[in-house]
Amino acid sequence: MRSLSLLARVVPVAAAVLVAACDGGGTEPNPRLKPADVAGVYKVCTLTFRPIQAALPEADLLSTVIDEVPPAPKQAPSLTLSGTTATYQLVYTRLSDSFSQQLQGSVTLGSTALNVNFGEEGQVRRELLLPGVLNVNYSAVTKQLTALGETVFSVRRADYAYAAGITEEGLQDRINGSVYAVFSQGSCG
């Protein structure tokens, strides 16, 4: 008799769990971010290339390549993530000639991070010392995207030297390093 009372208690609970799972009432352990979750315009707060060779200086792209406060009607540097598709647009004004530059492409969304796919190595990607794919962590609390130098890749000597503000003399053809970046929907401070 006791086993029937246990069965009478277990069956309704099991049925409720099954119905919740079928109705989508269950929760995934790590649901993927959706474009709407990360959508918005992010200011470029930090964009730095750090060589793995400690003797070489880091290149702060916001002081050597990107005009942080371009003259009107130019746009301040920003990364815009679409709310409907997994795509981005990175825009900035080049410091040396005040020309507007942009990169567009796709974003791969994970549970707490996303990969910004910069694609093939073109002029804009080379001058910003960007990898083909940049992994950034997303914080819903601070509305920030942060890259912590997880991917090591190489850039051309001339591009690195220009961005770092040094001469090419004595440098290898390719410089290995990683990108540290912060993009924010709020203030950069």
Tens digits of residue pLDDT in 11-65:
444 444 333 344 444 455 679 999 999 999 999 999 999 999 999 999 999 999 9
Mean pLDDT of 80-104: 95
Nearest Cα to Cα of residue 90 among 75, 105, 79: 79
Residue 82 within any structural domain of the chain? yes
Residue 123 within any structural domain of the chain? yes
Mean pLDDT of 151-172: 96
Residue 44 within any structural domain of the chain? yes
Nearest Cα to Cα of residue 186 among 124, 151, 143: 143
134 contacts: CB under 8 Å, gap ≥ 6: 115, 116, 118, 147, 151, 179, 181
Residue 137 within any structural domain of the chain? yes
Q: Residue 71 sits in a domain of what CATH number?
A: 2.40.128.280
Residue 19 within any structural domain of the chain? no
Q: Domain containing 87: what range?
A: 35-184
d(CA 117, CA 121): 11
The residue among 22 and 145 whose pLDDT is bigger is: 145
Residue 25 within any structural domain of the chain? no
**Residues 177/49, Cβ–Cβ less than 8 Å:** yes
Q: Is the pLDDT of residue 139 over 60?
A: yes
Number of domains in the chain: 1
Mean pLDDT of 163-180: 97
Residue 161 within any structural domain of the chain? yes
Q: Is the pLDDT of residue 94 over 80?
A: yes
Residue 145 within any structural domain of the chain? yes
Q: Is the pLDDT of residue 6 over 50?
A: no
Mean pLDDT of 66-72: 91
Mean pLDDT of 171-183: 97
- pLDDT, position 71: 86
